[in-house]
DNA sequence: TCGCTTGATGATACTGAGTCTCAACACGCG
DNA sequence: CGCGTGTTGAGACTCAGTATCATCAAGCGA
């Protein structure tokens, strides 16, 4: 349910052509609500009778991840999932019921990261933070 | 290079027998330095001429994860790795050079998590935080 | 001690995500 | 047109993790 433009912009910014398979993949991603697996996109493409190879979907996904327009999540179960998002550094709150995500700002975390670096002596390069819980919509929907 | 005892204790605490295959797996894990993949344990077992089936290694690992004595990490590359650790909730700083980890306390993070819950309206259930960087030893070793 | 029940094991087959290979294709440019 | 480079798709492949199932061992009561 997000917009295709940022995805296409990511391709262009990095000097990659916006081919029709890539456009199709971007559309499939934008049409998705919440996180998705690569297999979901393959299924979507099949459903829409799109002539896109499996490899091409993986390649487009990989490119978008490199460019920061899509991020790989690790669910508490250990499964991988993808979600489209802003290129700037941030983190995700993931609904464990419907899979929708919200982006959260990094600001409040920075002090903590610095403190860890100071205490452990590590030269920290990156970090990953994911929060899981039920989103407001799912909470008010009761069982859903 | 850690101790086997916590691993064995985890088995006992949950009412599982400490069989010789499980003891062997615990020893392999304790002998490991830094994070490891399941395949590493299989290779270690082979090297030591231990008659342990692959499935048994995976089962022991799964059990230890359930009991909180081993944790699954997600490296920045997307690979999964395992690391033995304390059962209490905490997070890891992972050396991107040698793979050794340090456990860090959750305390400094709690305020941030609460703030996110307040701002987003999510009912947060769990979270995962992993920090990556070079450990003090690797830093002073220069290139290593 | 015998026999039963339950948990544990290991060989093997299987699944499913992601990767690799390679031949064919599409564009941009001189 | 003709070349070079980037892109594509089919299919084979790898590899972690799971499932199946027959066998085995511990615990326990008769
Ligand atoms: Zn939800
Ligand atoms: Zn951050
Ligand atoms: Zn190190
Ligand atoms: Zn925590």
Contact residues, chain B, for A135 at CB < 8 Å = 120-122
pLDDT digits (tens, 9 = 90+) for B4-33: 999 999 999 999 999 999 999 999 999 999
Distance (Å, whole) CA A71 – CA A25: 15
Classify the phi-psi angles of B130: left when phi > 0, otherwise alpha if psi is within -120 to 50, otherwise beta. beta
Residue B143's pLDDT is 58
Chain A nearest C-alpha distance from B49 (Å)? 31
Contact A25, A11 (CB under 8 A): no
Q: Are residues A77 and A30 in the same domain?
A: yes
Backbone angles phi, psi at A125, to 5 degrees: -110, -35
Residue with nearest Cα to nucleotide C18 C1' = A58
Residue B144's pLDDT is 53
Mean pLDDT of the A70-77 span? 93
pLDDT digits (tens, 9 = 90+) for B73-86: 999 988 999 999 99
At B144, which CATH number?
3.30.1490.190
Task: Grade residue A78 by pLDDT with cuts at 50, 70 and 90.
Answer: confident
Of B87, B107, B123, the position where a domain reaches its end is: B87
Q: Are residues A96 and A56 in the same domain?
A: no
Under an 8 A CB cutoff, do A136 and B117 touch? no
Task: Grade residue A39 by pLDDT with cuts at 50, 70 and 90.
Answer: very high
Mean pLDDT of the A5-29 span? 95
Q: Are residues B113 and B66 in the same domain?
A: no
Token pair, residue B56, equals: 């048994």
Q: Are residues B41 and B78 in the same domain?
A: yes
Q: Which domain holds residue A135?
A: 88-144
Residue B61's pLDDT is 97
pLDDT digits (tens, 9 = 90+) for B42-94: 999 999 999 999 999 999 999 999 999 999 999 998 899 999 999 899 999 99
Distance (Å, whole) CA A82 – CA B44: 33
Q: Which nucleotides of D are covered by protein (CB under 7 A)?
A: 6-11, 15-20, 26-27
Q: Are residues A105 and A69 in the same domain?
A: no
Q: Are residues A6 and A70 in the same domain?
A: yes
Q: Quote the number of domains for chain A.
A: 2
For chain B, state the CA radius of gyration: 17
Q: Are residues A5 and A76 in the same domain?
A: yes
Q: Are residues B81 and B34 in the same domain?
A: yes
pLDDT of residue A143 exceeding 80, the answer is: no
Residue B30's pLDDT is 97
Q: Are residues B26 and B58 in the same domain?
A: yes
Mean pLDDT of the A21-43 span? 97
Contact residues, chain B, for A130 at CB < 8 Å = 127-128
Mean pLDDT of the A103-114 span? 94
Closest chain A residue to the Cα of B113, Cα to Cα: A131
Q: Between the CA atoms of A139, A44, A56 and A80, what dihedral angle is there, to the nearest 10 degrees?
A: 30
pLDDT of residue A54 exceeding 80, the answer is: yes
Token pair, residue A19, equals: 């081919």
List, as one string, the DSSP characters of B67-118: TTSEEEEE-TTS-EEEEE--SSS-EEEEETTT--EEEE-SHHHHHHHHHHHH
Sequence-separated (6 or more) residues with CB below 8 Å from residue A90: A103, A104, A105, A106
Q: Are residues A8 and A77 in the same domain?
A: yes
H or E element: which one contains B132? strand B123-134
Mean pLDDT of the B111-117 span? 96
Mean pLDDT of the A62-70 span? 95
Residue A23's pLDDT is 97
Distance (Å, whole) CA A70 – CA A73: 10
Q: Cβ of A140 under 8 Å from any chain B Cβ? A: no
Contact B128, B71 (CB under 8 A): no
Q: Are residues A137 and A92 in the same domain?
A: yes
Contact B19, B82 (CB under 8 A): no
Task: Grade residue A84 by pLDDT with cuts at 50, 70 and 90.
Answer: very high
Q: Are residues A71 and A109 in the same domain?
A: no
């Amino acid at each position: 349910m997000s917009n295709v433009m940022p995805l296409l912009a990511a391709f262009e910014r990095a000097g990659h052509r916006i081919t029709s398979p890539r456009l199709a993949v971007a559309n499939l991603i934008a049409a998705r609500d919440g996180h998705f697996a690569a297999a979901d996109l393959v299924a979507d493409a099949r459903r829409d009778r799109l002539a896109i190879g499996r490899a091409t979907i993986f390649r487009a996904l990989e490119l978008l991840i490199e460019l920061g327009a899509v991020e790989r999540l690790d669910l508490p179960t250990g499964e991988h999932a993808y979600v489209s998002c802003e290129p700037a550094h941030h983190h995700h709150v993931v609904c464990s019921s419907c899979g929708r995500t919200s982006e959260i700002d990094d600001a409040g975390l920075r002090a903590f990261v610095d403190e860890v670096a100071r205490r452990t002596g590590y030269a920290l390069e990156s970090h990953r933070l994911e929060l899981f819980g039920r989103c407001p919509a799912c909470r008010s929907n009761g069982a859903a």
